Structure formats: structure tokens, C-alpha cells
Structure 1
Amino acid sequence: MKLFSALAAVVLFAAIPVPSAQAAIMGTSPGTQIYYVGSVQEASGTHLCGSVLTQEAWVITAKQCVQGRTPESINIRLGSRYHASKGDVLPVVRIIPHPTSDVALIGLGKPSSVVPVHVAERPEPAGEKGKVLGWGQTCPTAGCGGPTAELQAVQARAESRSACGAEGDRLCTSYPNGGGPCFGDEGGPLVSADGISLFGLVPSRVPGARNCAEDRPPLIDLTVLRGWIDQHTG
């Protein structure tokens, strides 16, 4: 999760505010539902990407995160704000990439006890605030740092499609407090400010991208893919 100047994204459930004019503490509401954010991991436990639980045995992520991988080669950690500990590490039994869009469904070997978040019926209206969640690095250039230990959130605001030239299954967002998704945040969700509705997903990184502030593609609009998601996950 890219942070510019002072911290614009902070550790979820932090006990005290970060001393920054740009920082904003993300509350625990609606309780444990925030644990629907999952870490896509190699069998060794290395964090690869974010993901989000949309049904008790299905998560969705960016296509790049599972490209060339078999179900046996990855796991999903859910139910923890840490990508390397706590929660449950669940096996993967199925990977379904979308034929044209930058998303993939991951079928879990057993249902998760975590409360899932469901894809909204329609896009978030322009001007509405939400948040992007992930464990991505906090410096802008590729390889300048690894994933953060704890789940991070950055405030996002929905913009009209003309703001970034988004088409099809893409949507425009801005980040009023600075920051935004960075390397390692791919597959992480864009949810409503209260965390109850799922609107979008951080896309795969741009090929050859070296700076996540300069090479940041529009987020994926999951609301236009809801039919395909429901078809495969029920």
C-alpha cells in the first residue's frame, strides 16, 4: 500500500492515531467482517497478493496473482490482519480465471468461518468514499520493500469514468489523503467506508512497472462482473 509524505494509510485496528495530519484511523466496524481480506500465499507462506472472500468457500483476486500456478502451489490465509500469522491457512482446490477480465476465482478446500463480503449490485456513486485494503509495500518503487506485517487501509473516493478514461470493467478512484495501492496490493478489495459492500479490486500490475504512483491502472469494477462471479460461486 503506497504511502506518500506522512502516513496516508494506517494499520487497521491501531490502538492510537498515527501522528500525521493525513492519517485516518480505520475503525473496527463492522466487527470481524474486515477479516474477509485474504493473503494469497505460496506454499512456503510467502505473501503474493491480496484477495477477498465473497462466499464461504470462494475468494477472488487479480488474474496475475494465480497465473501459471496450480491449486496445490498456493494457500489463502483468512481471518487475520497479519499475512504471516494467526487466522486460518486454507488449501486451494480450484482456480477459475475470467476469460477476458483481470480477475480469478479461487475455490477453497473447505469453507471459511469468516463472514464474507458480497459484491454490490451497482457501482459506487461518484463522490462516495470507500477504502482499499492490502499488505502491499509502503514505498513507491518496485522492490524497495516487502509486504507490511499488518493489513493496511487507504481512503479512496469514487470518481466518474471520465476522470481516468475507464471503460468496460474498470472504475476510477482518487485518494484524498494521498497514497494508494502499490506492489503486493494486487487482488485486494475496494469496499464501502463501512466495510459492508464490495465494489472493486486492485488489478494486476502494469507490465514493466517500476513505480506504483506513476504506473497505477484503474481498479477493476466487480459490479459488472457479478453475474460471472455468481455463476461459478452460487
Structure 2
Amino acid sequence: MRKFVIFLCIPLVFAEYLDKVFPPQNFERVVGGKDAPEGSAPFQISLQTSKGQHMCGGAIIGKEWIITAGHCVSGRTPESLKVLTGTQDLKGQGVYYFPKKIYVHEKYNKPAYHNDIALIRLNDSIRYNEFTQKISFSPNDSPDDAVITLTGWGRLSAGGSIPTELQAIELKRMAYVDCKRKFSDDPNLGVGHLCTYNQAGQGACNGDSGGPLTHEGLLVALVNWGIPCAKGFPDVHARVSYYHDWIKTTTGSGEQ
């Protein structure tokens, strides 16, 4: 079985422990991307430690609701996190909000690498403006071969510098049967996943976890895991349409 890694930006204090769980990893994020056009992703958030270190991506789906990957928040308390909104520059003039409660999917990591999705309820309502907006999602799936946009903060290339500007890249959705074949029917891949792939040198990596993938203006997936980084294998994401009912039930359908 191949070794996978979730695309989390690991604080250095945990590196020694995690090297025993996952293969040694660097801290790259979007590989082969470019600066996102200004205002193109007003739903994008940076999930950070309480000290302001970027950990994961996520998306605004309501005035009090953030959606992200389960592994970004599992085992964490609301007090240990904060959410940066309204900026594409990690050093820019964004607005911080603070979690009130974290909802990790009840079947997260059961089986391994499955149901990797979570919701964060904030302790205050997000104030929408031209730089801060929610994104809608649909119970309908995106088609195979659809062009899907991934956004996140990270290196412009493997081993390159880490920009503060939000990065974007267009990826092609890979059919589920083709993705299963690429991973030799590995059980880590399930029907709740969506795969993307272009070519080696383009894709997600550590720090993109939980970040949004969009198609035709709708949220379709959240970055989960892959073989780091952009090495010629598909990236694997939580397929939002698969979790549509869970999201609606957890938020009380009150995303606003």
C-alpha cells in the first residue's frame, strides 16, 4: 500500500511525532499555481492557530459557518484556532473571527482517510462585503473532466518560496473509476472522494488541507490527501455533494 499524507501545514513542534505516522514531508502547498485574481475567492479563509500561524484552508458557507477538512480541527479546541477572512494576502488587512464550536463528521477517519470534513461555528456573524462572501454548494455532483479551481496559500513550486498571496490553479476532475485504478483500488479512496489531476508539477500539498475547490461558482470539494506533492498522482478531496445532507443537518439549514 502506498504512503499518503494529508495536506496539513504541520507546526514544527509536532514534526518529530508526525514523522512516525506519515512519511517525511516538506511544507509546500499549491504547486504550479499563480496569484489568484483580486476578489476571485471572497469565500476563502485561512484557518490559523491562536498565534496566527496558517494551518489549513476553508470556505465561508454562512454568516456563522466555516467548512474545512476534519483533520484540520480533529482534537483541537475552539480556543486554539482563529479564522482570517476578507483578504488574499496573509499579511493583509483581513478580519479575524473566532470559533464557538467545532463539528467533525461523526465517521471521520472511519475507515482511514474517509469522511474527512468538518464545520466550524463562529462566535460572531461574518460581515459580508466585496472581499468577504459565502459560497453556495449543491447536492448535484460536478461532471467528470470538469475544470475545477483550487485556491490556497503556498509555494509557487516545490522547494520554492512561500508567497503571502493566495494561489489558484485549474485542475481537471478525474473519473472515480480512473482514480481507483491509479491507486490500485486502495481502500483509502471511497465514493465520498473527488479526484483531480493535471500533470506532474501541478496540484495540492501541505497547507492546502480543507481548502475549497470550486466549479462554476459552487463549492464542490475540500482538499484531503494525496502522495506529496504533485508527483504524478491524483489529489483526493472530500466531495461536498456527498455530504450535502450532513452539512444541512449540522447547520440547521441556516447557513444564511
Same fold (TM over 0.5): yes
Q: Secondary structure, in 3 states, of the residue corresponding to 1:202?
A: strand
| Structure 1 unmatched runs, 5+ | 14-27
- TM-score (normalised: structure 1): 0.79
Distance 1:217 1:178, change over 3 A: closer
Runs of at least 4 residues of structure 1 off by over 2 A? 136-140, 144-148, 175-178, 213-217
Aligned residues: 204
Which residue is 2:118 aligned to?
104
**Is 2:207 the counterpart of 1:200?**
no
Distance in structure 2 (CA, Å) of the matches to 1:57 and 1:103: 17
1:151 alignment partner in structure 2: 166
Identity of aligned residues (%): 28
> Is contact 2:68-2:222 (8 Å) kept?
yes
Name which of 21, 33, 44 aligns with 1:9: 33
Give the superposed CA RMSD.
2.2
The answer as to whether partners of 1:129 and 1:157 remain within 8 angstroms in 2 is yes
Judge conservation of contact 2:46–2:83 (CA < 8 Å) in 1.
yes
Match of 1:163 among 165, 170, 178: 178
Asked if structure 1 preserves the Cα contact closer than 8 Å seen for 2:34 and 2:156, the reply is no
- Partner of residue 213, structure 1: 230
Deviations 1:37-72 (A, max 9, x none): 100001111100001111111011111111221001
Query: Within 5 Å, which residues of 2 pair with 1:60-209?
Result: 60-100=67-107, 101-112=115-126, 113=128, 114-140=132-158, 144=159, 147-165=162-180, 166-175=189-198, 178-192=201-215, 194=216, 196-203=217-224, 205=225
Counterpart residue number, 1:54: 61
- The structure showing larger relative contact order (alpha-carbon pairs under 8 Å, at least 6 residues apart) is 2
Partner of 1:34: 41
For the structure 1 residues 145 and 47, does the alpha-carbon distance in structure 2 shift closer, same or farther, using more than 3 Å as the test? farther
**Structure 2 portions without partners, runs of 5+:** 1-28, 108-114, 181-188
Farther-moved stretch of structure 1 (178-187 vs 130-139): 130-139
Q: What is the deviation of 1:33?
A: 6.3
